[in-house]
Amino acid sequence: MKIWVDADACPVVIKDILYKAAERVELQVIFVANQFLRLPPSRWIKFIQVAHGFDVADNEIVKRLIAGDLVITGDIPLAAEAIDKGAYALNHRGEMYTAENIRECLNMRDFMDTLRSSGIETGGPSALSLSDRQIFANHLDKFLNKHEKSG
């Protein structure tokens, strides 16, 4: 299993949690972004820089991931593609996307896009709180513990 990180929009605090997790469980964590990232030196942490462009990083992640991998992303279409390939997807607030909830998430995303395109101000997501960070870390640990034991 590998962890793939949609790194362009990944908050720094989430990256820090992932760096520590990579070292702790000795698991490959691959950050994919279209801009250079300075990462801590580690045999477990890798970086793939892709060309600029719409969904280039997402497409690279989907191309490389395999069933059982984990994708860290706030991008719901990327999460849906990961799930379709038998992978797992976790967002920055600790919500695990699943085959059961991803269609509802996609529908809500599309609905909000429709509202915004019609001129209705929907506001953006709130800032990542300390509680959100802890929830993410807890869900990541729970996932890693479960999958470390099973595979």
- On the CB side of 27, how many CA atoms lie within 13 Å of its CA? 23
Q: Tally the residues of the chain.
A: 151
pTM: 0.85
Tens digit of each residue's pLDDT (9 = 90 or more) over 2-60? 999 999 889 999 999 999 999 999 999 999 999 999 999 999 999 999 999 888 999 99
Residue 101: domain span = 3-150
Domain count, the chain: 1
Q: Look up residue 102 and give its two tokens.
A: 């991803």
Residue 69 sits in a domain of what CATH number? Answer: 3.40.50
Closest CA to 5 of 86, 87, 121: 87
Average pLDDT, the chain: 88
